[in-house]
């Protein structure tokens, strides 16, 4: 059985399986899993707001 790593999307708060995330972004040495292009766009505009 493979271990699942669950993140919380910092933009919308949705639980995201790391293996199924839309994208994983590394910001200031920490990984963030984002669920969709909209959350990715919001995070990239102002990452400090979500970290």
Q: Which of 15, 12, 5, 20 is nearest to 49 (CA)?
A: 12
* pTM, two decimal places: 0.87
In sequence order, what are the beta bridge partners of 7?
16
Give the three-state DSSP class for 5.
coil
Q: Read off the tokens for 22.
A: 């839309």
d(CA 44, CA 27): 10
pLDDT in tens, the chain (51 residues): 567 899 999 999 999 999 999 999 999 999 999 999 999 999 999 999 999
Query: Are the C-beta atoms of 38 and 9 separated by less than 8 Å?
Result: no
């Amino acid at each position: 059985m493979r271990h699942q790593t669950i993140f919380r999307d910092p933009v919308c708060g949705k639980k995201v399986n790391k293996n199924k995330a839309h994208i994983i972004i590394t910001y200031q040495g920490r990984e963030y899993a984002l669920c969709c292009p909209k959350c990715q766009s919001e995070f990239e505009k102002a990452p400090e707001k979500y970290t």
